[in-house]
């Protein structure tokens, strides 16, 4: 994944959308290889919990991802607005997974 991200950067791509490699250390290598291009996380397959989605997002953001491009993990959720608010908190406020889950539960239970 790092090799392809580097190739994209060398071809002049400004924003690289790529899947999360499964661990922060591996994803940091992708981001490093793509520099100075911006890397955003693609959502990939539907995850079985919002906690996993928030953990993936937090881990990727912590190692330098600049955002996310999620589809089915948001739109197929029970409450897409609540999921977006949780993601927004992690991405824009450097929030924790636990805080994002509280936001999700608070909005979903209204």
Q: Which residues have a catalytic role annotated?
A: 17
Q: Give the residue among 41, 110, 47, 109 at the shortest CA–CA distance from 77.
A: 47
Which pair of structure tokens corresponds to residue 37?
Answer: 């291009």
């Amino acid at each position: 994944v790092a090799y392809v991200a580097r190739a994209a950067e060398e071809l002049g791509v400004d924003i690289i959308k790529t899947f999360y490699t499964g661990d922060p250390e591996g994803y940091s290598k992708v981001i490093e290889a793509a520099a100075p291009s911006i890397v955003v996380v693609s959502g990939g397959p539907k995850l079985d919990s919002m906690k996993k989605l928030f953990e993936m997002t937090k881990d990727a953001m912590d190692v330098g991802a600049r955002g996310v491009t999620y589809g089915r993990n948001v739109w197929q959720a029970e409450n897409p607005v609540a999921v977006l608010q949780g993601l927004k908190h992690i991405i824009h406020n450097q929030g924790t997974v636990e805080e994002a889950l509280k936001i999700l539960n608070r909005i979903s239970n209204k």
